[in-house]
Amino acid sequence: MLDELKLLYNTKLKQEKEKFGNIKDLMDFLNKEKLTPQFEVFTTAGTDPIVNVGGRDVLMFSSNNYLGLATHPRVIEGAKMQLKKHGGGPGGSRFLCGNIDILDDLDKKVAATVGAEDAITFPTGYMANLAIFNTLMDPLLGALPYSKNSGVIFSDEYNHATVVDGCRLSSAKKIVFKHNDMADLESKLKKFSKNKHKMIITEGVFSLDGHLGKLKEIADLSKKYNCIFMVDDAHGIGVVGEKGGGVPQLLKITKDVDIFMGSFDKALGCMGGYLAGKKELIEYLRIASRPYIFSSAVPGVLAGGAIAALDICCDQKGAILRRNLMKNSNYVGTKLKKLGYNVLGDGTVFALPVIIGDEDKAIQFSTRLFEEGIFIPSFRWPAVPKGTARVRVTPMATHQKKHLDYLVDVFYKVGKELSII
As annotated, the active-site residues are: 207, 235, 266
The letter for the amino acid at 352 is L
CA 177 – CA 198 distance, rounded (Å): 14
Shortest Å, Cβ 129 to ligand PLP: 6
Angle between helical axes of 401-417 and 359-371 (0-180°, round to 10): 130
Q: Is 378 helix (H, G, I), strand (E, B) or coil?
A: strand
In the bound state with ligand PLP, the residue whose beta carbon lies nearer, of 273 and 415, is: 273
Which residue is at the shortest CB distance from ligand PLP?
Answer: 125
Residue 384 touching ligand PLP (CB under 6 A): no
* Count of all residues that appear for the chain in the document: 421
Residue 160 touching ligand PLP (CB under 6 A): yes
Q: Which of 49, 248, 273, 291 binds ligand PLP (CB under 6 A)?
A: 273
| Residue count, binding to ligand PLP (CB under 6 A) | 13
What is the dihedral sign for C-alpha 153, 229, 245, 308? negative
Q: Are 199 and 228 in contact (CB under 8 A)?
A: yes
Shortest Å, Cβ 192 to ligand PLP: 25
Residue 124 touching ligand PLP (CB under 6 A): yes
Q: Which of 49, 78, 125, 151 binds ligand PLP (CB under 6 A)?
A: 125
Q: Which of 232, 247, 268, 304 binds ligand PLP (CB under 6 A)?
A: 232
CA 159 – CA 174 distance, rounded (Å): 13
Q: Which of 48, 138, 258, 265 binds ligand PLP (CB under 6 A)?
A: 265
Helices (H) then strands (E): counts for the chain: 15, 16
Residue 156 touching ligand PLP (CB under 6 A): no
Binding mask 163-202 for ligand PLP (x = CB under 6 A): ----------------------------------------
In the bound state with ligand PLP, the residue whose beta carbon lies nearer, of 111 and 234, is: 234
For residues 59-79, b (16+ Cβ closer than 10 Å) or e, as one string?
Answer: bbbbbbbbbbbbebeebbebb
In the bound state with ligand PLP, the residue whose beta carbon lies nearer, of 48 and 203, is: 203
Q: How many CB atoms lie within 10 A of CB 274?
A: 28
Q: Are 359 and 389 in contact (CB under 8 A)?
A: yes
- Binding residues for ligand PLP (CB under 6 A): 124-126, 129, 160, 162, 203, 232, 234-235, 263, 265, 273
